[in-house]
Amino acid sequence: MTFLGRLWTLFVSGYPLLLEGLQTTLLLAVIGTIAGLFIALLLITVQSFHVMPGEPLVTRASKRLSARLSKIYVAFFRGTPMLVQAMVFYYGLNQMGVRIGFFAAGLIVVSLNTAAYLTEVLKAGLNSLDVGQTEASLSLGMSHFQTYVRVLLPQALKNMVPAIGNELIVNIKDTAVLSVIGVGELFYMGRAIASTTYRYTEAFILVSLVYLVTVLIAVEVLKRVAALFGKEAPRLTSQSEGLV
Amino acid sequence: MIHVKDVTKDFGDGNVLNDINLTFNDHEITVIMGPSGSGKSTLLRCLNYLEVPTNGTITVQDTVLKEDPKVLESVRKKVAMVFQSFYLFNHLTALKNCTLAPRRVLKLSDTDALNRAEDSLSEVGMAAFKNRKPSHLSGGQKQRVAIARSLAMHPDVLLFDEPTSALDPENVGEVLQTMTSLAKKKMTMIIVTHEMQFAKRIADRVIFMDQGSVIEDRPAKDFFAAPASKKAQAFLAHLG
Ligand SMILES: Nc1ncnc2c1ncn2[C@@H]1O[C@H](COP(=O)(O)OP(=O)(O)OP(=O)(O)O)[C@@H](O)[C@H]1O
Ligand SMILES: [Mg+2]
C-alpha cells in the first residue's frame, strides 16, 4: 500500500477518535481563551487602580498589594512552561486531596496561562492610549475608575481584538502539551492511534493535518470577526508568530 | 470665581511658575498670552488640578483644591477644559462624547443627558454630525464637538488651551466663531491663544506671561493699545 493509502486507511479507522480529540481541543482553546480574557480583565484592573495621596492608608495599601500580586501572577505564568504548570497543578491538587478531572485541570491551566498573556497585551494596549484621553475624562469630573472603565478599557479592548484571536490560535496548538496529564485532546488521540497501530509517522502526519485545517479555518473566522471591529486579524506569518 | 494664591510649579529643573497670584472673576473673558514655554498651559492646568502646584493654593468657588478625588471631581464638573488636541473619546460618537459625563458624573437620566448633548451640539453647529465617530470628523469639527462636550456639563468656567493651534488654517475660523458666540453669552472663559485678532475682539482682560511669571495683567483694550513691557511689545509685533 502507498503512503497516502496508509494515511487514508488510518484516517478512516481513526476519525472517531480524532474528532473527539478535536472537539476537546476546541473546547479547551475557546473556553480557555474566553475565561482567560475575563481573568485578564480582573488582573489588569487591579494593576490599574489609581493611588491618590488623599486616600485612607488602608485603601492605598490594598491597592498596592493587589497590583503587586497581579504582577507576580503574570510573571509566574509567563515565566514557566505550560507543560510544567499542568504537572504542578494536576499532581499538586491531587496530592492535596482535591479530586479534579483531566479536562478540568487542563482547562484551568489554559485559562490561567491565557490570562497572564492577555494581561500583558491589555497593559500594552492601555499604555498605548494618549494620556489626553485620561486628562479629558478627568477634566470632566469623571473618577479614575470611571475613566478606566468607560474611556480607557473599551479602547484598549477594541485594539486587542487581533491579539485575542492570536491567542486562540496559539491555544489550539499549545493545548497539545496537556496530553501529558492525560487530557484527551487531539494530540493525545493521535498518540493513542499511533501506539495501537504502530503507524507512528502516518498517525502524527494525520494529526498535523487536522491541526492545520483547524487553524486555517480559525484564521478565516477570526478575519471576519476582526473586520466587525475594523481591525486586522492575526495572520500565519512571522509577524503574528512574533507575538507568540 | 477662581483664586490663585502664591502658586509655584517646579517639574524638577527650576520653576515653571513663579509665585502666581491672580483672581478670575465670573463672566469675565481672560486671554493668556506669552511666548512658548512661558508656563501658560501649566497655569491653566493648575486651575483644575490636572497639574498639582508645588506650592500655593487654588480656590474655585470657595473650594480649596487638594488631591482628594471627591474634591477634584466636584470642582472639575464645574470647570470644563478644551484641549489643543481635542482628546475626544475615540470609541464614542459625537453624541456619546457629550452624554458620557452628564450621565456618569452629573447622574442625569438618559433622556436628560441626551437632550443636553443635543442642545450643546446644536450650539456649536454639530447637530448633524452627532452619530459620527471622531475619526470621521475634521479637526475643526472635532474641536467643536469637544467644546460641546464641555458645554453639556453646564460648567461655570471654560478653560481653553490653544484650541486652534492644532488646526489647519481653513478650520480655525469655525472654532473661533463658536467661541465668540459663547463669549457673547458672557460665559466665564480663560483662553490661552496666539490668535491676536480674536483676542482683541473678545477679551475683557489680558494676562501676559514670560518665564513663569505674570508680567502684565490689564484690561484688554489697554493691553492691545499699548503693552507696557518690552517683552509684550516685541511679542505682539512678532505676531503681527
Ligand atoms: N510634565 C512636564 N515635565 C517637565 N517639564 C514640563 C512639563 N510640562 C511642562 N514643562 C516645562 O514647563 C515649561 C512651561 O511649559 P508650558 O507648557 O506651560 O508652556 P506654554 O507657555 O504653554 O508653552 P506653549 O506656548 O509652547 O504651549 C516648559 O519649559 C516645559 O518644558
Ligand atoms: Mg501650552
Q: What is the mean pLDDT of residues B75-81?
A: 97
Question: First vs last Cα of chain A: how many Å apart?
Answer: 40
| B157 in A contact zone (CB under 8 Å) | no
**Beta-carbon separation of A132 and B150 below 8 A:** no
Task: Give the model's confidence band at B84: pLDDT under 50 very low, under 70 low, under 90 confident, else very high.
Answer: very high
Pocket of ligand 1, beta carbon within 6 A? B 11, 16, 34, 36-42
User: Which residue's C-alpha comes closest to atom 16 of ligand 1?
Assistant: B39
Task: Give the model's confidence band at A238: pLDDT under 50 very low, under 70 low, under 90 confident, else very high.
Answer: very low
pLDDT at A154 over 80: yes
**pLDDT for the residue A241:** 41
Task: Give the model's confidence band at B240: pLDDT under 50 very low, under 70 low, under 90 confident, else very high.
Answer: low
Closest ligand 1 atom to residue B9 Cα is 12
Q: How far is A125 from chain B (nearest CA, A)?
A: 14
Using a CB-CB cut-off of 8 Å, the residues of chain B touching A141 are: 73-77, 101, 105, 153
Using a CB-CB cut-off of 8 Å, the residues of chain B touching A139 are: 48, 50, 76, 79-81
**Beta-carbon separation of A141 and B101 below 8 A:** yes
* Mean pLDDT (chain A, rounded): 90
d(CA A107, CA B7): 58
d(CA B45, CA B68): 16
Sheet holding B29-33, edge to edge: B79-82, B157-161, B188-192, B29-33, B205-210, B213-219
Taking a contact as any Cβ pair under 8 Å apart, which residues of chain A between 20 and 79 contact chain B? 52-55
User: Which residue's C-alpha comes closest to atom 26 of ligand 1?
Assistant: B36
Q: Please name which ligand lies nearest the alpha carbon of B194.
A: 1
User: Which residue's C-alpha comes closest to atom 12 of ligand 1?
Assistant: B16
**Beta-carbon separation of A158 and B91 below 8 A:** yes
**pLDDT for the residue A233:** 67
Q: What angle do CA A64, A62, A33 make, to 5 degrees?
A: 75
Task: Give the model's confidence band at B159: pLDDT under 50 very low, under 70 low, under 90 confident, else very high.
Answer: very high
* Test site for ligand 1: of B7, B8, B11, most ligand atoms within 8 A of the Cβ: B11
Q: How far is the CA of A17 from the centre of ligand 1 (A)?
A: 67
Instruction: Kindly give, in sequence order, each residue whose CB lies less than 8 Å from that of residue A239, ignoring residues fewer than 6 positions away.
Output: none
CA atoms within 13 A on the CB side of B141: 16
Closest CA to A159 of A125, A134, A186, A195: A125
Closest CA to B102 of B113, B91, B115: B113
pLDDT at B146 over 90: yes
Domains annotated for chain A, with CATH where assigned, are 3-228 (1.10.3720.10)
pLDDT at A240 over 80: no
**pLDDT for the residue A232:** 67
Q: What is the mean pLDDT of residues B32-47?
A: 96
Using a CB-CB cut-off of 8 Å, the residues of chain B touching A54 are: 66-69, 71
Instruction: Kindly give, in sequence order, each residue whose CB lies less than 8 Å from that of residue A199, ignoring residues fewer than 6 positions away.
Output: A6, A10, A193
Taking phi first (over 0 means left), then psi (-120 to 50 degrees means alpha), and beta for anything else, what does residue B207 get?
beta
